[in-house]
Chains A and B, each alone.
Chain A
Amino acid sequence: MTPCYAPVVPTTVAAPATERSRHSAVVRVTHWITVFCFLALLVTGVEILLSHPRFYWGETGNVNMHPLFTLHVPSSRAMVPTGYAVLPDQNGWSRYLHFEAAWLIILTGIVYVLASLWNGHLRRDLLPAREQRNWKAYAAVLGRYLHRAPVKESGAYNAVQRAAYLGVIFGLLPLLIWTGLALSPAVASVAPWAVEALGGRQSARTLHFFATVALVLFFVVHVVMVTLAGFWSRTRAMVTGVVKEEQL
């Protein structure tokens, strides 16, 4: 016989059992500031690049010298013969915003790295777990991706994700900061080795461009993977911090 009284329902629920905690507040806030800065740096970087879409290797380079390669795009300067109409000059505000966004992304990165060392995010979520420290782990993930098998998420990053995130955080972004700072004549005056180790000012500029291309590739793959895994549920997880159990 069913008892005839209302079931007891708790009036406050800390977290419904169907939701699982996914990203900490530090990760979420620094992630979105980084996205904002990345897009600002990319747009302004392209604007600055358009004033001289030629690249050189070594210390010096100008239109009287042979380029390493030329991007066949319109330029915002009449002195650069690209064979297209001259675009309007956008360098002023682009440079102001580029360096302001650079400050914000660097300060955000410092907060992220210090917090991740402190709270264990780096050790727990990003360094390869014990069972991931072999080639088979990487081959298995890539195999699943290639067969387009449905990715069963355990709530933790797989070996390839960890390698990609670590590579961007401790490889690409520091390289972009280094090659960018090497282009500052004032920084070069206190740290000439920072320019010389890269092979000169123009080499630093060319490497800054290549590192940007690599970062854009990461961004594209990242967004594609997020979309395959469920764009709205993953994006909501990066905003609210939780993901619904059935969407794992």
Chain B
Amino acid sequence: MTRRRMIVAAVAAGAGVSAAGVAARLARRYGLVPPDSGGIYGPGETLTYATQRLLTAHSTAREFSRNMISKAPFANEIPPLKDEFKRHQSAGFKEWKLTIDGMVAHPASLSLADLKALPIRSQVTELACEEGWSYIAEWIGTPLFEVLHAAGMLTQARYVIYRSIDRDWWESIDMADAMHPQTLLTYGMNDDDLPVRFGGPLRLRLPRQLGYKSLKFVDSITVTDSMKHFGKGLGSSSPEGGYAWYAGI
């Protein structure tokens, strides 16, 4: 190797390292780094999330005509229902409450009737499981952004956490997904109440990500600017169980 080539290589390597450093800082600044960006799978996960955030900030999931609705949708296995849930179930979910707290001006607790008084939206979208199977259904509910607006979400909010009544199951999404018109607090499916097997009485439907982000039995929402103090700080219970936080793939 000649001295000239060594100098060129050193300058190129230096430029590469500083470019990577600048890119990492910019990515953090613009919210392109997912909460589970550490570890050996972090680079791949960050590339996927950053690329898709730049390309899909406002895109909408494919919607289908009603005749595409699956005749035989598949209700996946659900964790055993606990006594608290069974009490709600036998009371017809009259006492089911969705609490909203964290970075909001007006923390609230909404019944299903309160939710149904807010604007209704329905969509015919596909639920795709990470395992490979899928089905199409009509999902009816209140857009999450309506609830966040009503609660007076603060401008520094960056993530919305949502939890199942069984607190082992919780997820979070960034603002691009939280404010997305297709992100529905779903209480109806195919012109009927959302069945318990499919996550009733309330499921957060997120058609631009895989099925495991569409959490069942949702009863709590927290708005935050950082995932640091929730669980292990990885964004949801999925990465704690080895699955990616962002499931847009």
Contacts and interface: CB of A to CB of B under 8 A. Distances in A.
A52 B136 contact: no
A103 B126 contact: no
B18 interface: no
B230 interface: no
Given A189-B56, A189-B61, A190-B55, A49 B41 contact: no
B48 interface: yes
Contacts of B129: 52
Contact of B249 (A100, A184, A205): A184
B132 A190 contact: no
Nearest to A76: B131
B242 A59 contact: no
Given A60-B136, A96-B45, A185 B209 contact: yes
A201 B47 contact: no
Contacts, number: 123
Main secondary structure of the interface of B (DSSP, over half): loop
A195 B62 CA distance: 10
A65 interface: yes
A187 B133 contact: no
Nearest to B247: A185
Contacts of A96: 41, 44-45, 242, 244
Contacts of B68: 59-60
A6 interface: no
Contacts of A205: 132
A174 interface: no
A202 B136 CA distance: 12
Most chain B CB within 10 A, of A61, A183, A184, is at: A184
Interface of A: 48-49, 51-52, 54, 59-65, 77-79, 91-93, 95-97, 99-104, 183-190, 192, 195, 201-202, 205
Given A59-B126, A95-B130, 6 more contacts: A60-B126, A64-B73, A93-B242, A95-B244, A100-B43, A201-B126
